Structure formats: C-alpha cells, structure tokens
Amino acid sequence: MVANKTNGEVRVGVFVCDCGLNIAGAVDCGAVTEYAEALPDVICAVRNKYTCADPGQNEIKDAIRQHKLNRVVVASCTPRQHEPTFRQCVREAGLNPYLMEMANLREHCSWVHPGEWEAATQKAKDLVSSAVARARLLQPQEELTVPVTTSTLVIGGGVAGIEAALEIADAGHQVVLVEKEPSIGGIMAQLDKTYPTMDCSI
Amino acid sequence: MATTTSETFRCMMCGHEYEEPVEKGEDKERSCPKCRSNSIRHLKKKKPAKE
Amino acid sequence: MSGYVGNFTAKIRKKARYVDPTVCNACGECVKVCPVTRPDGFQMGLSSRKAIYIPFPQAVPCSYVLNMDDCLGNNPIACGKCSDVCEKEAINYDDADEIIVREIGAVVVAIGLDVYDPTEMDEYGYTRFDNVITSMEFERLICAGGPTAGHFVRPRDRMRPKRIGFIQCVGSRNPKIGRPYCSNICCMNTIKDCLLLADHYPDVENTVFYQDIRASGKSFEDMYQRSKEAGSRYIRGLPGDVEEDAETGNLTVTVENTTTGKLERHEFDMLVLSVGVQPPKGMGKIAGMLTLSRTSDGFFMESHPKLKPVDAPTRGVYFAGFCESPKDIKDSVCQAGAAASRAGALLNAGQIQIEAITSRIDEQACSACGLCAKVCPYGAIVWSKGEPAVVVEAACAGCGACGATCLFGAITMRHFTDEQLMAQVRAILADKPQDKVFCFACNWCSYAGGDMAGISRIQYPASNRVVRTMCSARVSEEMVIEAFRCGAPVVLVSGCHYADCHYINANRQTVKRMQRLWDQLEKAGIRPERLQLEWISAAEGQKFAKVMRQMEELRKTVTLEEIEYARDALKPKPKKRAKNGRKKSAAVAT
C-alpha cells in the first residue's frame, strides 16, 4: 500500500495561501512559509496569492513534478470547502488524492484573530506543523467500488409510498411495495375531501 | 415499564452538582442546568428512586 | 433488513389474508353469512364490519380478507359459513404467513403517521361526551362513503348539528404533554372542513378556536379568507374546559379570547377536536433495522436539513412523506418524487464508490473480543465468538468508533490512523504547550462550527489548536492521554449534538470514553476538569467561540506544576489502555 516511487522517501510540499488579504491580512504568511520550509521532510514551501485559482493549482502541479513531491500540504481555508478541489489538483499531477492534507488558516485562524498578528501567526505555524506531521504519514487510498442491485424496497403504501413506487417503476426499475394493512391507501384513503383542491382523497 | 433511578451528575465546567431521574436505556444529551456546558460527569453510586 | 447501500437484503413477512385475492371477485356473499360483528377501523369505529370484510370499497387489492382473530374458525360446529357460500372457493382457513426474501439496492421509507389520540387531554371530554369527536371521525361522518352516507349527524342523537366548534392544536404545539411541534396539516384541514360544511349546509355556524392559523401554502390564505366569507368565525384562544348539558347533549366551552382578553362561553351542538399527528407505531423498529436516527420530536432525521432533505444518514435509504416531518399531501408527493429520483440516480449508476475513510482489521492482532462490532453504529463489523472481526467495507461509514475502542491496536482507520492523529497531537504541543488550548473536533459539526465562527468573524482567543477527526468517537482515550503527556494544560473533545450525529449515534461512545477518562485522570491525581466535552453544531459559531473563551479561562487556571505533574503521572504506563488489555499484556510480559 505504500507509494514507493521515491524509494520510501517522504517529500512534502507546503503551499501557503494569502487568500488575497483574507489570510495575509492577519497572519504573516511569509513567516509561515519560512517556518514550513524548515519542518522535517519538507522539500519546498511556496507562498501563493490564491492557491485555489488556476495559477496556484498550477504551482502545486509544477512543484510535484519538479521536486518529485509525494505529499502535499495546502495551508489555506477549511477542508470542508476546498478539499475536493485540491484532491483533484494533485490527482491531475499524478498523485493519489489521499496524499493531500490541508491546514485551515482562514476560517480557523485569520478570520477569527484579526489584529493579533503574533498570536495568529504562531497558531498558523502550529496548524501547518500539525498538517505536515500528518501528511508525512498519509498513505494512498483506493476507493472501493461496489455494484448496485437495481431494485427498490418501498416501506409504506400511503400516498408517499405509492407515489415513490410509481415513479421508480416508471423509471424502469423493479419496486417491492410493502404495506402492513390489507389494502394500500394509508391514512389519506380515510379522508373525505382534501385541501386545497377540495377533491376526493381516493 | 422502564426502571428509573436517581443519578448524580457534576458539571466539569462550573462544578454544579445535581440529581436527575434517569430512565434505563435512555439516550439523552446532557447539559448543565446552570451553565449549559456538556461536560457532564456521571458520578457513580446509584440510589434507587421511589416510584 | 441487512446489507448496505446498493446491496440490501430484505426479509418480508407476507401476512396471510385467508382469501385468495387472485380468485376472489368481491361478490360479497361471504359477508352476508358471517355471524361476527366488529367495529370498523376504517370508519373510525363509527360502524361495524364482519370478520370477513373488504377494508373499503376502493381497496387495492380489491379482495376480501379474513381476520383470523375475529373468525370463529372452520370447525363445522363453530362456523365455516363463508367457505360454504364462496362459489370461487377463494377462502382458505389454513393460509399462513409467508417469508419473502428480496435483494434490494435502495430503500424508500414512507411509513407515514399515526393520528393523535386525545384521550389524555381529558379537559375536552373526548371520552366522556358523545358529541365530541376527532377530525378523523369528522372525515368519515361527512364522507359519502362513510357510515352515514355523507349525512352529517352527531353521534348522540343522530341529529344534524348546526353549531359546530373546532378546537385546534389538540396534541400539537403543546410542550406540557410532550408535543411541542406543529403538526402542519390541522389548520388547513379545519378550514377545509368549515368550507365543506358551509357548502353542504348553508345554515351551519362554524367557530374555530386557535392559537395561530398557519395557512402558508400555495392558495391556502385564499381558502382561509373564503371560509371566513362563508361565515366561519375564528376566535384566538384555546378552550380550557368543556361541559356537557346532560339533557341536550350540547357542549359549552370556556375560553379566554386572547384578542379581547375576555373570558367567553360558547355553546355548540358538536365539537371537533382538530387532532395532531405523531410518528407511527413501529418507527423505532424501522429505525433500528435501517440504522436511522430520529429528531427530538420522534420523526426521522435527514442527512442535511437543507442540502440533503430526503437522504437518510444511511446511504441508499431515502425518506418520503410524513415520517420525515409533518407535511400535507402535496409535500408528501413532492418528497416522494424526490426520493424516487434519488433512488433512481443510485440504481442507474450501477455501481458506487465508497470513500476510502473506512476501517480495516488486522486479523493477526485481533483478539476476537467483539467490542468493535458492539460499538459500530452501522453493524458494519461482522463478528462471532472466537472469530476475528471482519469489516464490511461498503457498510462502513468511517466514524472510527471501532478504532478508538480496540484494545489491541488491531484496527486501522484509513486516512485517520492512530499514528497520523498522534503525530498531530505531538506536533501541536511540541513547543510551549502550556499556552495552548488543545481541541479535538468532529468534521461534520464542531469543526464546521469553527468554520461558522470564521465565516461570521466571531473572535475568540488565538490559543486554541484543533485536530479534526471524522467523528468525536474516533478520539481514543490514548489520544487524550497523549495530549496531557505532551503538556497540554486543557483538552477539549467536541462533537455533534445527539440529534445531529453524522454517524447515527457514534458520539455516545465519546460520552462513555469521557466518563472513563475523567475517572482515570482523577485517579491519577489530575484535575478532571482539565478535560472538557462540548457538543457544537455546524450552525453554532457563537457557541464554538464561547467554548474557546471558556477553555482559555480554564487554561489560565492550570499551573506549570500541574502540567508537569500530569506529564509525569501519565508517563510510565507499562502498556496502553484499559483493563483487559493491560491484564493480557502484563501476563505476556511476565
């Protein structure tokens, strides 16, 4: 399972994003980049204006090729936003997407600590250090693909169940509709007229 | 019928200690009645509650 | 129900009907001879049926069914009459339930609702006064297919009532009886009833007692106004008491009119309780079968309230209709369509990818204790006594509760391994740990709550350092201990609120672990308060910031001596973790 293109040697690249002034306005990104460069197994540390934009992504791809990077740390925003972006980016450069790690310098740092230059920068360094420590131990992962049985179970034969069953059947799939009563229809069948159309329920 | 016992809890944030009836097998999020913290420690030693 | 997305197996009990629906031509001869009379459930008990019956005229399948609990049986001395008259020979007293097994790719849960039974709200006299009925009984009484063929009469004397009162929110929006939620449909249902009555009987006088009229759907307000124009009166205030005139059977309600602030009394010929709805009986069973979670109201919890409103947290399971939340017919049909489309997308894909954050068990290291299988919320770990546990990868959602529970280091949580997380702990606390507030945050809620604080620019002390895990249940006792060992003054473990847990209920394991850790810290002479637990939702940026401020205050109370003491006290463990593990490894060592 270990990526061994570089004889087991771990080669980390760190990309520190200014995010315009979103991060650089509250965190000393230059100092963070410098700090990152000195961390164990870090081969290169690059500061970008916007890492997620095409030029930023190209810098990552170029660095992967040029420095034979096999781990990437992007120190920018929350992974909940751009993890898919950067996973795709490293994949395009030939790296397994699970070898990319992010440090959240924006939502968890610069945006919540404005005007605290020293403390925010120290925190950013720690977050990068944590991400690098984790990245050094990341392993490539393969996503499992499983087949899907093309049949649907619908539990409940009221209006919602009947409607869902019909739609799925109309789409050409087999449906098993299960109802606990002797007849389908549910509560709606017990109603007389229904709003807003004032027509019969059955 | 479910059995209910009176249990003692301590808030690890503000130190508030309180008793509360607990139904067996209940699945309930706890928070301190005083400070709303979720750091609620369940103190051992159960006393049976009156029905 | 077993299996996982795309590959479920459903075992279905097909109940015996005792009448072959493929043969029965619904002639009804059997009903004429059946000697057993029972209340008709479809008509809300307002009329009777026989032991052999058709649920309602438009029933599907259109066939009679024999209720064996009611039937006298086929012993010729006892009965057997229906079988004698059935020319088609459709009746089979020996019919039995049948178990059907089906392979299933997707599941749509549409188990609907139960109507609230107002017996407990005795102030309205539902069980005491004949002329107090529920809105469901109203439906049958006004229906042409009902017990009175649509002639609207009151139960006590079969007279047509002229003055009809409706009481809203019976079993809804009432925290006192544990029903705080709005049932959604009752306001419009009453407005419809008022319009129906006014249409059928122009001389009728309708009065509706309400807290708020919620008529927010398309063309609903128009209906509300029309019912007012048709003469229905709306009085803001719910009656406190109902009295019956023993002679006439008329009902007098006492109500505080909250618009005028005056106490009023109104007399009616009939009172309709606009009853709310509730999650159906048996919901817990379905929830258990499909590992679904429920909100505090008891309805099913969707994957995301805005972005995944029909998806269950269990992949491949979708919701339609009432069981997800109270909704009317139109919304049920909408959601059913959405659920069908979601299921269709899954089936059409033919195959699916499972994110690689899943658990793997090292067979060699596994001691076959089965703890991991017990804590897995998805039943994704198969284990039988004496056998090493096996992960069904496709069913594993990746919470990591198993990995944090394993006492033997046999479980690897892919992409969130012990080593990776420990390396983060050590890196963060390598330098000046005494200044730092160390936090674990789950990806879906508390880490997202931190993001929300960021997006909202809510400031808090810069001392906090967060390590992200997928679920708080991934945080093992060892990880927390390691943080203290590295000199952390305080540690916070944070996860989703109970109702929001992205992994059904994995965070209950977090709670158990915290209890053990507090005990352990105390035993070691360490202030247990240095370890804190908080549930922070993705929307609670405010709370995230508040908790960080509290943690910073707490950090300031921890002295350097305490930190050093903890480092020391926690250090010289011969081997990791709790009882069994220690005993076993000690035995090996000697």
- Final residue of a domain: which of C228, C246, C278? C278
Is there a contact between A143 and C437 (Cβ–Cβ < 8 Å)? no
Q: How far is A53 from chain C (nearest CA, A)?
A: 20
More confidently predicted of A193 and C77: A193
**Same domain (yes/no): C221, C120:** yes
**Same domain (yes/no): C88, C189:** no
Q: What is the DSSP string of C96-164?
A: --EEEEEEESEEEE----EE--GGG-GGG-TTT-TTEEEHHHHHHHH-TTSTTTT----TTT-PPPSEE
**Same domain (yes/no): C444, C562:** yes
State yes or no: pLDDT of A128 exceeds 90.
yes
Q: What domains, with CATH codes, occur in chain B?
A: 4-43 (2.20.28.10)
What is the reported pLDDT for C589? 40
State yes or no: pLDDT of B51 exceeds 60.
no
What is the reported pLDDT for C588? 42
Does C474 contact chain A (CB < 8 Å)? no
Q: How far is C520 from chain B (nearest CA, A)?
A: 12
- The percentage of chain A sitting over the pLDDT mark of 70, rounded to a whole number, equals 97
Q: What angle do CA A8, A14, A15 make, to 5 degrees?
A: 145
What is the reported pLDDT for C572? 58
State yes or no: pLDDT of A197 exceeds 50.
yes
What is the reported pLDDT for C445? 87
Q: How many CA atoms lie within 13 A of C413 on its CB side?
A: 27
Task: List the domain range (segments joined by +) for residue C525.
Answer: 416-569
**Same domain (yes/no): C496, C420:** yes
Does A93 contact chain C (CB < 8 Å)? no
Spatial distance between the Cα atoms of B36 and C354, rounded to a whole number of angstroms = 38
Q: How far is A134 from chain C (nearest CA, A)?
A: 5
- Kindly state the average pLDDT of the residues A134-142: 97
Q: How far is C346 from chain A (nearest CA, A)?
A: 8
Which tens digit of pLDDT belongs to each residue from C430-477?
999 999 999 999 998 899 999 999 999 999 999 999 999 999 999 999
Distance of CA B32 to CAs B4, B16, B17, B38, C490, Å? Answer: 20, 8, 9, 6, 19
State yes or no: pLDDT of A48 exceeds 60.
yes
pLDDT in tens, chain C (590 residues): 877 789 899 999 999 999 999 999 999 999 999 999 999 999 999 999 999 999 999 999 999 999 999 998 777 678 889 999 999 999 999 999 999 999 999 999 999 999 999 999 999 999 999 999 999 999 999 999 999 999 999 999 999 999 999 999 999 999 999 899 999 999 999 999 999 999 999 999 999 999 999 999 999 999 999 999 999 999 999 999 999 999 999 999 999 999 999 999 999 999 999 999 999 999 988 987 887 777 778 898 887 777 789 998 778 999 999 999 999 999 999 999 999 999 999 999 999 888 899 999 999 999 999 999 999 988 899 999 999 999 998 888 899 999 999 999 999 999 999 999 999 999 999 999 999 999 999 998 899 999 999 999 999 999 999 999 999 999 999 999 999 999 999 999 999 988 778 888 899 999 999 999 999 999 999 999 999 999 998 878 999 999 999 999 999 999 999 999 999 999 856 655 544 444 444 444 43
Is there a contact between C498 and B30 (Cβ–Cβ < 8 Å)? no
Q: Do chains A and C touch (3 or more CB pairs under 8 A)?
A: yes
Three-state DSSP class for A12? strand
Mutate which: A150, A175, A176, vs C, most C CBs within 10 A: A150
- What is the pTM (predicted TM-score) of this model? 0.74
Asked whether the beta carbons of residue B12 and residue C528 sit closer than 8 angstroms, the reply is: yes
Nearest to A149 among C15, C104, C466 (CB): C104
CATH number of the structural domain spanning residue C256: 3.50.50.60
Does A190 contact chain C (CB < 8 Å)? yes
> Domain extents for chain A?
12-136, 152-200
Nearest to C393 among A144, A165, A181 (CB): A144
**What kind of fold does domain A12-136 have according to CATH?**
Rossmann fold (3.40.50)
Does any domain span residue C576? no
Q: How far is A40 from chain C (nearest CA, A)?
A: 11
Alpha helices in chain A (DSSP H): 29-37, 54-66, 79-92, 117-135, 159-170
What is the reported pLDDT for B43? 94
- The percentage of chain A sitting over the pLDDT mark of 90, rounded to a whole number, equals 91
**Same domain (yes/no): C123, C251:** yes
**Quick one: which H or E segment has residue A144?**
strand A144-147
Does C99 contact chain A (CB < 8 Å)? no
> In chain B, which residue's Cα lies nearest the Cα of C494?
B38
Does A108 contact chain C (CB < 8 Å)? yes
Which tens digit of pLDDT belongs to each residue from A155-188?
999 999 999 999 999 999 999 999 999 999 999 9
What is the reported pLDDT for C540? 86
Nearest to A195 among C143, C144, C223 (CB): C223
Report how many domains make up chain C: 3
**Same domain (yes/no): C137, C246:** yes
Does C497 contact chain B (CB < 8 Å)? yes
Does any domain span residue C565? yes
Instruction: Count interface pairs B-C at CB distance under 8 A.
Output: 37
What is the reported pLDDT for A14? 98
Nearest to A193 among C109, C196, C465 (CB): C196
